[in-house]
Copies of this chain bind each other. A is one copy, B any other.
Amino acid sequence: MGSCLSETELISRFFDFQIPGHWSTQGIGDDCAIVEVGQTRLAITTDTVASGTHFLPDADPFTVGKKSLAVNLSDLAAAGAVPRCFFLSLSLPQTDLKWLEAFSRGLRETAEEFSCPLIGGDTTKTAKIEDKQAPFSITITAIGEVQKGLTRQGAQIGDDIWVSGRVGDAYLALMLRTGQWKGLCTQDVAHAMDCPTPRIALGQFLAHYATACADISDGFLKDLGNILTRSSVGARVNIDDLAVSEALRARSRDERRQAQLAGGDDYELVWTASPQARAAMREFEKTARMQGEPLVLSRVGTIIPDGLILVDNSGCEVMNTFKGFDHFANENV
């Protein structure tokens, strides 16, 4: 009974109930739902991460704790939100005190860094398959506050396309660790995969300038693609304008492009903004660097009426053969 629905198709086919609500909301399909509660506007997101799907089976529990909250805060960042609180639903195979201690230490570190208290949750045992318990699974719901709130909708023809950070290293780490690519996984590269930094300050800044925004969780082209679909526009992108780490620059061109365009798990932001906002972007970048954060913002393309055109520095068009991450799309059961 398997099928090839993408996550987006699955949601629109089965879960777009259109039940009228008391609160005004901006439906399903963005990084966050934006909900108007009295005079306050909330951004709310929920994400599940599981061992074997989002984490390697032997992942350090401290890292698991940090990253599970970070990926949810990244969704809040994409909405331009100030994090306010979160809820944790933890499914564990057993009460492993050492694992729990390290996990909670990691979770707490990220929660403290972003002043985001844990205010509720649930713990259960994971399901059994035959005699074995399934490994851990963690669902976090994070709530933030926005002024207006950024979504994937709103990109205008003529807008610049921007990306934060050097995307691709998280994917490089995964390939090296699983032995699919040859080479040593350096500490910096491992860090990109294990300890992504949610771009909370950048997101709040972008709330004043961006016309649309998403976080890069499933791969740059896929997450940009979500903006294009939701905004009913196209894009022309110079893929050589994406900032690249030294580690990734040392790989072959094909590996580099695969990692940067389709890799995912970066938790950087991709957004669109009027060309008039360029000076403000550079100013934000400069201020961050003066404060010791080596932030890089890359202007990588332009919004066009439709289609997706990829070019490189030589001006040649590049075939888009890169597929971002989709949990269900490549299944063939």
Which residues of A are interface residues toward B (Cβ below 8 A)?
Answer: 1-5, 7, 10-11, 14-15, 17, 19-23, 25, 27-28, 30, 32-33, 35, 37-40, 42, 44-54, 82, 84-85, 87-89, 91-92, 94-101, 103-104, 107-108, 111-112, 115-130, 132, 134-135, 137, 139, 141, 143, 145, 327-328, 331, 333
Contacts and interface: CB of A to CB of B under 8 A. Distances in A.
Given A7-B123, A104-B14, A127-B51, A38 B35 contact: no
Contacts of A333: 94-95
A42 B38 CA distance: 11
B139 A134 contact: no
Nearest to A52: B127
Given A30-B120, A37-B145, 11 more contacts: A1-B94, A3-B97, A10-B100, A21-B119, A28-B118, A37-B37, A39-B39, A46-B120, A48-B122, A94-B331, A129-B129
Contact of A20 (B23, B117, B122, B135): B117
User: For chain A, what secondary structure do more than half of its interface residues adopt (helix, strand, loop), or is it mixed?
Assistant: mixed
B28 A119 contact: yes
A89 B27 CA distance: 15
Contacts of A32: 120
24 contacts: A2-B96, A11-B123, A15-B88, A15-B107, A17-B107, A17-B108, A19-B116, A21-B85, A22-B145, A38-B40, A44-B119, A44-B120, A46-B139, A48-B139, A52-B127, A53-B127, A53-B128, A122-B139, A126-B134, A126-B137, A129-B129, A134-B134, A137-B137, A141-B141
A71 to B, nearest CB: 10
A194 to B, nearest CB: 19
A15 B127 contact: no
Contacts of A1: 94, 96-99
